[in-house]
Amino acid sequence: MSKVPRNFRLLEELEKGEKGLGPESCSYGLADSDDITMTNWNGTILGPPHSNHENRIYSVSIECGPNYPDEPPKIKFVSKVNVPCVDSTTGEVKSSVFHTLRDWKRAYTMETLLLDLRKEMATPANKKLPQPKEGATF
Amino acid sequence: MASLPKRIIKETERLVSDPVPGITAEPHEDNLRYFQVTIEGPQQSPYENGVFNLELFLPDDYPMEAPKVRFLTKIYHPNIDKLGRICLDVLKTNWSPALQIRTVLLSVQALLASPNPNDPLANDVAEDWIKDEEGAIKTAREWTEAYASKKDQKSTN
């Protein structure tokens, strides 16, 4: 398999995001539709069922740097959330703690990241953690 | 990295030894399927005197699949969107393995010479083009001067 360069990879992800991801549990798109570098993205995660996140929609911002996807993107919660892998003051997902960022692989996408975060919110250890008021932001 | 198909090696060699006038295409050292491209704006078009940076990638299935091509320089054109994506039949439905990198880039250059607002990708630009062609051509000239002028051509990468 040849290595798809950053920009063409991001264009593929953009097109997939525009079509909508299967089960609608996550979404993402360019933050600025004029940004030819395709660096900043907005995403949403629908809170997983049977958890304190149920029916909530969490906004995140994603930054794909010049070395994406060889290096993981930076991702930050805009909506307040209480999960151990998320910095409680900045909303940043800690790359040293969250496995998908820590053990990043080139084949991973923004979709992988959002779906894995959603799973993380639903683990037995995390799903009943008390959550901030709905709609609060970092 | 997997070895490069002969066809790609041949095409690359010829792009260097027998370049198309007004077009350059050079593979990146660390990815020989990924080319840095420049296209000069055709004479008598609003893109005249401009040099546009593009990127081109040959997917695994090339030449069964078309190359992927995108503008890196901002351009005001009804068939090129804000992200530099190009609406061109030979890159999509009319691709044939008989075509090459060279012919694709010539088609892109030809698209600059004859914008087609009736098959738009950038809808707002196409609308302008249909409503006020003279004004749209003027804007395209201004953008060419602002973003594609030869003197400040330094790679966007």
- Return the pLDDT at A19: 81
CA distance B36 to chain A (A): 12
CA distance B136 to chain A (A): 19
Chain B residues whose beta carbon lies within 8 Å of the beta carbon of residue A5: 28, 31, 34, 55, 57
How big is chain A, counted in residues? 138
Cβ–Cβ gap A1/B2 under 8 Å: yes
Amino acid residing at B122: A
Chain A residues whose beta carbon lies within 8 Å of the beta carbon of residue B68: 8, 11
CB atoms within 10 A of CB A83: 21
- List, for residues A31-63, the tens digit of each pLDDT value: 999 999 999 999 999 999 999 999 999 999 999
* Phi, psi for B97 (deg, rounded to 5): -60, -15
Strands in B21-156 per DSSP E = 23-28, 31-40, 51-57, 68-71
Average pLDDT of chain A is 94
Pairing mode, if any, of strands B23-28 and B68-71?
unpaired
**What does the pLDDT average to over B45-59?**
97
Q: Is the pLDDT confidence value at B157 over 80?
A: no
Q: What's the pTM?
A: 0.91
CA–CA gap between residue B91 and residue B113 (Å, rounded): 17
**What does the pLDDT average to over B125-149?**
95
Answer yes or no: are the C-beta atoms of B154 and B73 closer than 8 Å. Answer: no
- Return the pLDDT at B124: 87
Average pLDDT of chain B is 92
pLDDT band of B151, cuts 50, 70, 90: low
pLDDT band of B156, cuts 50, 70, 90: very low
Amino acid residing at A101: L
- Return the pLDDT at A133: 93
- Return the pLDDT at B153: 53
Q: Name all domains of chain B by residue range, CATH numbers in brackets.
A: 6-148 (3.10.110.10)
Q: Name all domains of chain A by residue range, CATH numbers in brackets.
A: 6-121 (3.10.110.10)
- Return the pLDDT at A37: 96
CA–CA gap between residue B5 and residue B97 (Å, rounded): 14
Answer yes or no: are the C-beta atoms of B41 and B144 closer than 8 Å. Answer: yes
Mean pLDDT by 10 residues, chain A (138 residues): 92 90 83 95 95 95 98 97 96 96 97 96 95 93
- Return the pLDDT at A22: 66
CA–CA gap between residue A62 and residue A35 (Å, rounded): 14
Q: Which residues of B16-47 are buried (b: 16+ CB within 10 A; e: fewer)?
A: eeeebeebbbebeeeebbbbbbbbbbbeebbb
What number is the ipTM of this complex? 0.89
For Cα atoms A27, A32, A37, give the angle at the middle one, nearest 5 degrees.
Answer: 100
